[in-house]
Amino acid sequence: MADPRIARQRQSLADGRELIYFDDPDTRLSPHRAPDLRELDPRPVTATMRQDPLTGEWVSIASARQNRAFLPPAHLDPLAPATPENPSEIPDNYDVAVFENKSPSFGPLLEDENAPRGLDDLAEIGIGRTRRSIGRCEVVCFSPEHEGSFASLSVTRARTVIEAWAERTYELSRMPGIQQVFPFENRGEAIGVTLRHPHGQIYSYPYITPRTQRLIASVEEYGPGLFPDILASEQDGERMILRGEHWSAFVPFAARWPIEVHMLPHRQVADFAGTTLEERDELAVLYRRLLRGIDEVYETPTPYIAAWHQAPVAVHQGDIRLMLQLTSPRRAENKLKYLAGSEAAMGAWIGDVTPEQAAASIRDAVERAAGKDDA
């Protein structure tokens, strides 16, 4: 369901990549946008995936990403509206803009060779197996401002971003060869962010990701009530952070990271495309409130990964639920949790703080941040 209050403007960049503007309901921008007049090189050859025969996982080798911008100054921001001095990726002013990544990890089939032939093909194990990294990577610019994050947006702008996530999930899920769509935001240089501009990304994979494969195995073992039962067990417990009419946020029972919060819709919905307008309206308020609270835990903004897990396109739509998993390695004011031997090598996690203590700290921070908003 699309929100008629939010207008869309589509155009092509100079090298053929798609650009979509999403306008706030109260926008003052003209619906007519300047064209991209740059002279660009042809799009790079789509990356190649290699299979790890020890795990069956696929690794995309995207060497073109080595040349991407790294923390440029404001006057050279590639996500800012273009100026004569800065011929950026977005040729005109905008509220929210979505475009295809110039150097994607997963991209279009530019050469008709070695494309994945479905999930059964990708599940086979062999030595030296390769496939094209067919898919799509999009950049979601939250604002024309040079610095900020989702937390710094107005509620209206946050709602426009959520609408973009919903519409792009719907359209990307219908593209040939796409098996899973993943919206996320990386925030902070400690996470590895290379652009300060407030933005997120959407990855569309040609396979079901390893984390989701593990989830599918859990659902098949436990039964289709896994997500309803998780939500019921958390809603009345001491790890709850926020609860609205449609969404609840909580620190999970077995949190891995020093700061980790999950958010679930109260009904079964597989992805953003399936959410109602009312659910998106409330999410714009609650998710923004949560992120402002995460920034209030310490004196300085908190680095995080905000990962929106969605059901695969073709399987388990009825029992895998849309879910935010927000994680931060920050374990103290000036300390980070690094993935050392046990976590990085064996996937065996050791927590540094109890989830109940973390929940109390985050809950207090959310209340402090809300008080500042009300002041």
**Residue 55 within any structural domain of the chain:** yes
Q: Is 3 exposed, middle or buried (0-12, 13-18, 19+ CB in 10 A)?
A: middle
List 185's β-bridge partners, or say none.
306
Last residue of a domain, which of 151, 175, 207? 207
pLDDT along the chain (375 residues), means of 10: 95 97 97 95 92 97 72 89 96 98 90 86 97 96 95 97 98 96 93 88 97 97 97 96 98 96 98 98 98 96 96 94 96 87 91 94 95 74
In a domain, 43, yes or no: yes
102: nearest Cα among 220, 6, 201, 5: 201
The reported pTM is 0.96
Dihedral sign of CA atoms 86, 88, 92, 94 in order: negative
Q: What is the pLDDT of residue 327?
A: 97
Clarify whether residues 256 and 346 are in a common domain: yes
Q: How much is the pLDDT for 69? A: 67
Tokens 């289709």: give the residue.
Answer: 224
Token pair for 196: 């300060």
Shared domain for 66 and 165, answered yes or no, is yes
Position 1 in a domain: no
Q: Which residues contact 267 (CB under 8 A, 6 or more apart)?
A: 246
Tell me which of 207, 235, 258 is where a domain ends.
Answer: 207
We report the CATH number of the domain holding residue 295 as 3.30.428.10
Q: Containing H/E element for 294?
A: helix 277-296
Of 76, 89, 84, 100, residue with least CA distance to 36: 89
- Co-location of 103 and 182 in the same domain: yes
Domain total of the chain? 2
- Burial group, residue 232, by CB count within 10 angstroms (0-12, 13-18, 19+): exposed
What does 19-34 look like in DSSP terms, one character per residue?
EEEEE-TT--S-S---
Q: Are residue 69 and residue 176 in the same domain, yes or no?
A: yes
Q: What is d(CA 309, CA 211) in angstroms, rounded to the nearest whole number?
A: 9
Residue 354 CA: distances (Å) to CA of 121, 169, 252, 254, 262 = 42, 35, 10, 9, 15
Residue 344, Cβ density class (10 Å: 0-12 exposed, 13-18 middle, ≥19 buried) = exposed
Q: What is the pLDDT of residue 194?
A: 80
Q: Is 295 part of a structural domain of the chain?
A: yes
Q: Are residues 354 and 287 in the same domain?
A: yes
Q: What is the reported pLDDT for 156? A: 98
The answer to whether residue 2 sits within a structural domain is: no
Q: Which two tokens stand for residue 14?
A: 């100079």
Asked if residue 269 and residue 149 are part of one domain, the reply reads no
**Does 321 share its domain with 286?**
yes
Catalytic residues, by residue number, are: 199
- Of 164, 180, 207, the last residue of a domain is 207
Instruction: For residues 260 and 321, state if they share a domain.
Output: yes
Contact status, residue 350 vs residue 341, Cβ threshold 8 Å: no
Question: Contact, 349 vs 337, CB < 8 A?
Answer: no
Residues for the chain: how many in total? 375
Q: Does 222 share its domain with 97?
A: no
Cα gap 320→311, rounded to integer Å: 5
Residue 139, domain extent: 7-207
52, 114: one domain: yes
Residue type, 164: A
